[in-house]
Amino acid sequence: MEELLRRAVGDRLAVVIATERVDGDLHPKHVAPALLGARQAAITGHTWTMLDQVHGVRCHHCVSAAVSPRVVAVGDVLVTAEPDVPLAIWAADCAPVALFGFSGTTVALHAGWRGLAAGVVDIGVIEMHARGDRAALAVLGPTVHPCCYEFSERDLRLVASGTGLSPEAISGQTRAGRLALDVPAVVIGALGRYGVDVEVSAGCTGCGDRWFSHRVRGDVARHAVVAWTELRT
């Protein structure tokens, strides 16, 4: 695992952890609950709140930490205003994004290309604003980069429309020189519209085998990004 962030935000300490292949499969539907809980506890010392992710924009609000390694709802956005509530997004190329508010709100987003096209980033920011909070910073976990993400012009325009960005701003090239979607550029640009800076995890899930990749290697297992806050003493 890698600690992507440990930083004071208001009266909280914001923490983000990204797992890797060596930490095991963290897909909540593929791993038996006892083993999933053991893996989660080995990584962060706690069980996590997770969703049945469906590449959409549905949101779930968490008021307490999960007591078991369970999927609490169908959706792609997790929100809490409470400290010590680990929110986890599982992925294997899609963008796992964590937002931290000045007043203590934490939002975790699963941002596949369909979710991005449907406005999942906007939903995350709106959910934070609905709680009277404003995003102080965001963290983008391991995701596929344009080098490994050939993309059609039609779908690229859908993503551009759903994020308020131009197709040119979010396009790139694969190693073979074909049109690609630049997922980090999409997340950075979409959050930049709200004045939110994004800390970007280094590395592409499709390159090498540090993380799982569905698109490049056909992996069925999933890594995870876990975000939470702690009260500063």
Kindly give, in sequence order, each residue whose CB lies less than 8 Å from that of residue 130, ignoring residues fewer than 6 positions away. none
Q: 48 with 88: CB under 8 angstroms?
A: yes
The domain segmentation of the chain, as residue ranges, is: 2-231
What confidence tens digit (pLDDT) does each residue in 187-221 have? 999 999 999 999 998 789 999 899 999 999 999 99
**Three-state secondary-structure class, residue 183:** helix
User: For residue 4, what are its two tokens?
Assistant: 């992507």
Write down the CATH number for the domain with range 2-231: 3.60.140.10
Q: 199 with 2: CB under 8 angstroms?
A: no
Residue 67 has pLDDT above 90, yes or no: no
Lowest mean pLDDT among 49-53, 58-62, 67-71, 205-209: 67-71
From residue 200, how far is each of 39, 135, 186 by CA, in Å?
25, 16, 12
From residue 152, how far is each of 108, 172, 187, 230 by CA, in Å?
27, 11, 19, 42
Instruction: State the pairing for strand pair 95-101/135-140.
Output: antiparallel
Look at the block and give the residue holding tokens 């197709």.
167
CA angle 202, 116, 189 (to 5 degrees): 55
Per-residue pLDDT, 15: 98
62 vs 69 pLDDT, higher one? 62
